[in-house]
Amino acid sequence: MMPIQRRNFKDVYPVSTSRKLGFGHIINSSIMLSNDQCQYFLFQLLRGLKYLHSAGILHRDLKPGNLLVNGKCDLKICDFGLARTNNAKGQFMTEYVVTRWYRAPELLLSCDNYGTSIDVWSVGCIFAELLGRKSIFPGTDCLNQLKLILNVLGTMSDDDLEFIGNMKARKYIKSLSYTAGIPLTRMYPQAHPLAIDLLQKMLVFDPSKRISVTEALEHPYMSVLYDPGANPPAQAPIDLDIDEKLGVEMIREMLWQEMLQYP
């Protein structure tokens, strides 16, 4: 299921085929990326995220620095320090997650009942950064972040604000000056039309209207790579509360034993 030719970076970028670097190094480099490469990077990210979501896991901190890539264009998701199970009973879900530039509107607006769509928004921001080679929403603070988002997406209708439970937050959004938004085709004129269409479906203000990871994988832009039969979901939810069940000393011992298996 990989009819594209993956470019090997080893001749143009100082990284071995086995060593992995943060994906931000690729985005900020002078390497020219083809549509096929952008497509393949996004596919790997979505495929990994689909598995996490099927296991009931929210990553909650997706950004280029938490993605690793090697000279063969293999991409891995890392740093699960802020990951939580989705809608776990009794678990406090805070908005103080996700690096600001990749933070979904529902988090910026202090919604505490968010779900997997926050990761989809982050993927959209990463994808936009991959296409434009710079951050799409480089906010200086939360309010500035919201303004930058609305400058691109345009002023929201009342229906698009229904998900905001905090009336003060909803009132603030309505108080902002009208903006027609900026077409993504103008921001990324060299991008494939299907890439723009998928990006638009990821960067949707209302989380209930945002595309899911599975729907993104089924999008025509991903059709040359995605095979549902080759990308099965997790067999069962993953329990992240191992620290409470095993204890610190047991976890240290398990990590040490695993480390001994590698040279």
Q: What are phi and psi of 62, to 5 degrees?
A: -75, 130
Tell the residue number behind the tokens 């990308």, with chain if given: 231
| CA separation for the pair 125, 39 (Å, rounded) | 15
Q: Is residue 131 a contact partner of residue 41, using CB atoms and an 8 Å limit? A: no
Q: What angle do CA 92, 83, 216 make, to 5 degrees?
A: 115
Tell me the torsion sign for CA atoms 194, 199, 200, 204: positive
- Which listed residue (11, 36, 61, 119) is catalytic? 61
Q: Within 13 Å and on the Cβ side, how many CA atoms surround 214? A: 10
- Does the annotation mark 119 as catalytic? no
β-strands 57-58, 21-22: how paired? unpaired
Q: What is the amino acid identity at position 200?
A: Q
Q: Is residue 114 a contact partner of residue 208, using CB atoms and an 8 Å limit? A: no
Give the helix ranges, DSSP H, for 28-74.
35-54
For residue 152 the two structure tokens come to 């691109």
Q: Which residues are catalytic?
A: 61
